[in-house]
Amino acid sequence: MKRRVVVTGMGVISPVGNEVSTFWGSLVAGKSGVGKITRFDASEYPCQIAAEVKDFNPEDYIDKKEARRMDRFAQYAVAAARMAMEDSKLEITEENDERVGVYVGSGIGGLETLMEQYRILLEKGPRRVSPFFIPMMIGDIATGQISIFLGAKGPNSSPISACATGTNAIGDAYKIIERGAADVMITGGAEATILPLAVAGFSSAKALATSFNDAPEKASRPFDRDRDGFVMGEGAGILVLEELEHAKKRGAKIYAEIIGYGMSGDAYHITQPAPEGAGAARAMRAAVHDAGIQPQEIDYINAHGTSTDFNDKFETLAIKNVFGEHAYKLAVSSTKSVTGHLLGAAGGVEAIACVKALQDQILPPTINQENPDPECDLDYVPNEARRAKVDVVMSNSFGFGGHNASIILRKYEG
């Protein structure tokens, strides 16, 4: 029999709160985390807005010396992981450390470190490049740092699948526990790329919102007719996944159960999703099959919902393809309307939003739903949170390169 897997801890660093209760409160209130970019002078950029993490002090979680040797994305990851482990009340000891693993991804990794060290190379020469440059920059280092800080010696790896990274990490970690290779996995995603090069690159690709520089809180508007691109966010979302009997034996608080995981490849285009969301539909269908449920059992979907033209239209079509008439009965919302798009961290923070929706029986809204797009005609929980009976939820993440990932969580009934 497949081993059952539950969520026993959560930690988040986000544009709308640096712990779970504040983050969730902002989502429910529809309080946007988007504002003018403050990290650098963006006045000459087509997109001048982003969803920055605020009031984050790495020294609240990491020794000052160690923090200086970590890129910001890894700082976010370690902070959220420590939060999640404290929430889980699981102690890692010599008796269990080989059964506790880490599986945390980043879509881009240490771009800030790369930019800074390249500047040093040009201005001061090769001998002045930091010896910590490589281990600060590489995308897997968040996983490495978390395992070092917490002493987790079990399965240890790091997926990279662009904006699907966080969901792939959680799904893969779920499968590691399910097949018996670990009892506990610390998993999710982290990203910190609100930087000149990243904003310039995404702007050149025509991916970012540019029409709302003077009204940042209105810029992220998934499924709305006036959407014109995503808003870059940053942060980390980390969950502690645990084998059910292991969690029960130690009296852990169980937030939800993860029951399904599906993924697929578009095999179509480096940035544009496959027509009619065919790849997304395959991932959702695979997750439903893995969960062993019927599509009509899904009550809510936390959509990828980036606020870009093709993504929102094709995700809507994919949902209709998978769920048929039930697509018009379930609720779909995009919390990116509040947080912006956290890229490789999106799946982690959105999985936490799904767990909280199950726990509190509240659906977070899609804000900025002002002018409905005729091609996006589902129930997107417009503008205001809604109380609802929620037993089974799905979270979608789709990334550049044609990566699609979906996970399904269920309300845990002891």
Count CB-CB contacts under 10 A for residue 53: 23
Which residues, listed in sequence order, are joined to residue 101 by a DSSP beta bridge? 185
Alpha carbon dihedral 61, 142, 80, 348, in 10-degree steps, equals 170
Secondary structure letter of residue 67 according to DSSP = H
Among the listed residues 304, 354, 376, 403, the single catalytic one is: 304
Q: How far apart are CA 32 and CA 55, in angstroms?
A: 16
Contact (Cβ atoms closer than 8 angstroms) between residue 278 and residue 39:
no
Output the CA–CA distances (angstroms, integers) from residue 364 to 24, 38, 179, 352, in the order listed.
9, 27, 33, 12
Among the listed residues 163, 246, 354, 376, the single catalytic one is: 163
Count CB-CB contacts under 10 A for residue 56: 18
Secondary structure letter of residue 156 according to DSSP = E
Among the listed residues 47, 246, 269, 341, the single catalytic one is: 341
Count CB-CB contacts under 10 A for residue 383: 13
Q: Which helix (H) or strand (E) holds 352?
A: helix 346-360
Concerning whether 304 is annotated as a catalytic residue, the answer is yes
Concerning whether 163 is annotated as a catalytic residue, the answer is yes
Which residues are catalytically annotated?
Answer: 163, 304, 341
